[in-house]
Chain A
C-alpha cells in the first residue's frame, strides 16, 4: 500500500508513530502523579477547610472530588450517593478515559492554587514568552554551533585547537550555572543588563517603542545563556561528524576531481548536518528542559517560570499541564525534524523501502 508514494508513506508512518507516543505521554502524565503520596484534593482542602463545619467540609470535599473527576456524577452534574450516603468512586480506567477526553479537547483542568482559574489560561499567558525566548536561541545556537564545528573539522590546526576545548567546556556548563554567571557578572557587578523578568516592572505590556525596547534589553542575557551553551554542544558533535565525513570516499573523490574548496565544504556541511539534525530531534527534550530552567533563573514569565511557581505552591494540575505541553511540543519538533530529514536525505526513504526503519 502506498508503495508508489514513498514520501507520503514515510510521513504517515512517522505520524502514526508519534501519535501513539503522544498517547503514551498522556498516560504517563496521568499515571505518574497518582503514584506519589500527594493528592490534589487534600492540598486544596488544607487551604479551603479552615473554619468550616464538618458538614461543610464534607460538601467542599465532594465538590472538589467532583471537579477532579474522582467521583461519579449524574448527567446533570449532581453527585451520586450510594445507600450509605457515600460518594461512588470512579474507576481508575474511567478516570483515565475522562482525562484523555478532556486533554484531547484542550481542557487541562483547573489550577489548585488559583482555583477556579483554568490551567490552560495560565499556560496560554506563558507560552508566547517561552516561544520568543527558546525558539530563536535554540535555532540560532544550533546553526552557530554547527558552522563552528564544521569549520573546526575542515580547518583543523590552530582554529580547531582553540574552538574545540572552548566548545567542550561550554557544553559541560549546566544551563542554570551559566545563567547565574551571566546575571552575576553583567547584571549585579557591571549593571549592564537587568537581572530579572522580561520587561521593566514599571511598564505595562503594550506595543509602544519603550516597551519593546525594554523587552529587548531584558532579552539579551537569557538569550545568550541558552545560545552559547547550546552552540558549544552542537559544535562538538558537528566537529566529530565533519571529521568522519572528511574521511569518506565521496569527499576524497570530490578532491580528486578538482572541485573547489567551497563546494567540498558545502558537501561536507550538508551531509554532516543530517545526523546533527537527528541529534537535534533526539536532544530537543533535554534542551527545552535546560532552557526552561534558564527561564527560572531569570524569572522570565514563560512556561518554566509558571512551572516553578506551580512546583513551589504544589499546584499539581498546573505542573501536569506544563509537562504535557512540553512533551507535546517536543514530539511535534521531533516529528518535523523527522519529516525534514526524510526530504533532505534520500537514504532515509530508500532505507525504508528496503524494509528497514
Chain B
C-alpha cells in the first residue's frame, strides 16, 4: 500500500513583530500508510503544536512555511489558499483533536450547535440542511454510547471534563476524516477519564470512522501501547524516529534515553526508580543553531558536538540525529 500522508523535510517559522524569524520546526520527515498510528513525543515547547498546524496546511500569520512539503494522498498542502485548505482539507481529510478540549468548545453555544456548524460549513454545498445535520449528529453520538440528548442540548459548562473531551472527539471526527491528529488529547484529565478517552479513540478506529492517526503527547510511555511508529522531537527537530518497540525498549539517541529515564517512574512496577530530570532547557530557536541542538544538555556530549549540525543517519534500523549514537 502506498503512503497516504507524507511529510518531506518540513520546516516552519514564526515571524516576530520585528521581522525576526523563529524556526519552530526544522527538517521533519515521515510518511504514514493507511491504518498506521504515529506517536510524536517531546517536552512542552518543542514545536509539537506548531507542527500540527503545518501538517494541516494551516498557516495563520505569524506562522509561515520555510521549506519542505506535506502531501495527503499525494496532493500537496503547500502554497494553497486558506479558503482552499479550509473547505477541502480541514475536518474532511485531516482533522484535529486539540489539547485541553474543555476550553475548545465555544462556551456560549450548545454542543449540538457547535457540531452542526461543522457539518453545515462543509456539507451545505452538498445540500445538507441544518436540520438534517442534527440527525446526522444524533446518529454519530449514539454510536459512542453517550447520553446523546442531554449532551447535545447542553452548554459546555454543564458537562464534565470527560464529556466535553468526548464531545470534541465526536465533533472532530464527524466527517470521517482520513487522518486525525490528536494533540495531547488526554493531558489535564484525571486517570480514569484518560482511559475513557483513549478507549473512545480506539472505538472510532475499530468502527473505521478513521484509520490513520498522529498521536502527540509528552508522555512517552503512553505511546508504547498506542503507536506503531514514534518520532521524538527536540527543539523543532525529529531526533529519533523508528518503531514503537525500538524507541521505547532500545532508545539510541541520548535525548530519547534521557526522556525514557525521566518518564520511567510513571510506569507501574518501577516506582522505586527515581526519575532523572534532564538538566537545563532547550535552546532558543530565535537564533540559527549551528551545532547539535541537544549538545548543551546531553550527558554524553563531546567537544565537537557543538560544532556540527547533526544529520539523520540510520542506527540499528531507525533514524537518529546523532553522529555518535550506536
Tell me, yes or no, whether A and B come into direct contact in the complex with CB atoms closer than 8 A.
yes
Binding site for B on A (CB under 8 A): 248-250, 252-260, 263, 267, 270-271, 274, 344-347, 350
Interface centre among B60, B85, B108, B158 (most CB of A within 10 A): B108
Contacting B103 at CB < 8 Å: which of A249, A255, A274, A350? A249
A-B contact pairs, 25 of them (CB 8 A): A249-B100, A249-B104, A250-B103, A250-B105, A253-B105, A255-B60, A256-B95, A256-B98, A257-B90, A257-B96, A258-B85, A258-B87, A258-B92, A259-B86, A259-B117, A260-B86, A267-B109, A344-B108, A345-B107, A346-B107, A346-B155, A346-B157, A350-B155, A350-B157, A350-B158
A160 vs chain B, min Cβ distance (A) = 13
Q: Are B58 and A263 in contact (CB under 8 A)?
A: no
Across-interface contacts of A267 in B (CB, < 8 A): 106, 109
Q: Are B60 and A250 in contact (CB under 8 A)?
A: no
Secondary structure of the A side of the interface? helix
**Would you give the 0/1 interface string for B86-120, flagging 1 where the beta carbon is closer than 8 Å to chain A?**
11011110011010100111111100000001100
**Would you give the 0/1 interface string for B140-159, flagging 1 where the beta carbon is closer than 8 Å to chain A?**
00000000000000010110
Across-interface contacts of B56 in A (CB, < 8 A): 256
Given A256-B98, A258-B86, 13 other A-B residues pairs in contact with their CB atoms under 8 A: A248-B103, A249-B103, A250-B103, A254-B106, A256-B96, A257-B90, A258-B87, A258-B90, A258-B91, A258-B122, A271-B106, A344-B108, A350-B158
Given A256-B96, A257-B90, is A271 in contact with B107 using a C-beta cutoff of 8 Å? yes
B15 at the interface (CB under 8 A from A): no
Interface centre among A249, A257, A344, A345 (most CB of B within 10 A): A257
A5 vs chain B, min Cβ distance (A) = 16
Give complex CA distance A345, B171 in Å: 22
Give complex CA distance A253, B107 in Å: 12
A267, closest chain B residue (CB): B106
Interface centre among B86, B89, B106, B109 (most CB of A within 10 A): B106
A280 vs chain B, min Cβ distance (A) = 17
B256 at the interface (CB under 8 A from A): no
Across-interface contacts of B95 in A (CB, < 8 A): 256-257
Q: 10 smallest A-B Cβ distances: which pairs?
A: A258-B90, A346-B155, A249-B103, A253-B104, A256-B96, A250-B106, A258-B86, A350-B157, A258-B91, A249-B104
